[in-house]
Structure 1
Amino acid sequence: MVSTAHAENVSEPVSTEPVITPLVSWWGCDWHGQADYPHVTNNEASVHGYWVKDGGDCPATGTVTVELQALGCSQFGCTWITQETDRAPDVKPGSGTGRWATPHKACANNNSTGWRGRVDTALKDFYDPFGWEDGPAKDLNCSPA
């Protein structure tokens, strides 16, 4: 015999409001990728990218991928163009030597050009819901070669 449910037998939900749970509660770790200001050293533009632990129980290391981008413009407008990419595997959170990826691009001349870094962090054996995070833009006297 098949029983049928009747609306009058179903209790009302306690609340119809959505439940919002912080990401740190869902995944146990909250982090973000970060880039410093682009700079010129030895006639090359470069930027440092790293990851920062914001809270929770995070893996000890992650792979940081950084794109160094220059602003390219035409009669149709301007867009960021990736010049170089660097990847640093198995790095601990925080900035400093051995904890960041640093792409470099030679300067063709001293024309002022906008530069920025983009960072993507993939923590070891951890779900990665995030994409690229854009760092601060800065004009440098360095046009990409």
Structure 2
Amino acid sequence: MTTDGTTVMLRNGSETAHAMQILDNGAIGASVLLAGPDAARTTQYDFTEDVAPVLQKTGAVALYKDDVLVGVVEQPVSHDASGAEVDSRYSVEGNRLVQTVDPDPKSAYPIVAQAAVAVFYTRGDYVHVTRGQASGHGWWIKGTTKATKAKVTVQLQYKPKKTSSWNRRGKAGVTTIGPGTSKRANARMTCRSQGRKQWRSWVDVDLIGYLDSPNKYYTSARTLKCTL
């Protein structure tokens, strides 16, 4: 353990070491240190079976759990001892993330390849009846992502019959907000009667300037005294 809180893991007889660090924003920094030209060029990170890494076009890796984005491994940044950038990339093999570093003959050792693992959370409440209207809210929790703003969309859904498919109802609520529970996007639909019908909503969070998922968060269905 170093004085700045970095945990360094050395391998006896190897020119490769690993370091883990909690960054200022709470993200986890994972670094690979290549001490010399004989150091291993690839490093493998295994995730649990319920977490699926998916490589993005940007070179970053999205982490999904049950089709919900739960984290992002930012694109790797690698530099040699002189500060020159060194090529590095990710590939995915099942639930395994493989990091590869490609120094050239002029690279000065040691080489450090770092990536930050960032996490944010999409949230939504149960659809409920307020003053004769079906209402649903959506928001997001910052976690460790660097994003400070996100466009949050919440859309009500309704089942006319038990055997019906979910149908979109009303206009989606769209709001650009910061993280936390105090600011929320809201969608409303006026009830015509108090017959019992099933309602739910979906919430989509688009981080401003950062990678996020196209997948939506669906709230649990509830039977409400609200018929359209």
- The match for 1:86 is 173
Runs of 4 or more consecutive aligned structure 1 residues displaced over 2 Å after TM superposition:
18-25
Deviations 1:122-143 (A, max 9, x none): 0111122241110122111001
Distance in 2, Cα, partners of 1:34 & 1:25: 17
- The match for 1:66 is 154
- Which protein has the bigger helix share? 1
Distance in 2, Cα, partners of 1:47 & 1:25: 27
Aligned-residue identity in percent:
26
- Which protein has the bigger strand share? 2
Distance in 2, Cα, partners of 1:67 & 1:30: 24
The TM-score with structure 1 as length reference comes to 0.75
SS in 2 for 1:48: strand
- The match for 1:42 is 131
- 5+ residue gaps, structure 1: 1-12
The TM-score with structure 2 as length reference comes to 0.49
Aligned length in residues = 125
- 5+ residue gaps, structure 2: 1-39, 48-52, 54-62, 64-70, 75-116
Match of 1:132 among 200, 209, 216: 216
Residue identity opposite 1:93 in structure 2: P
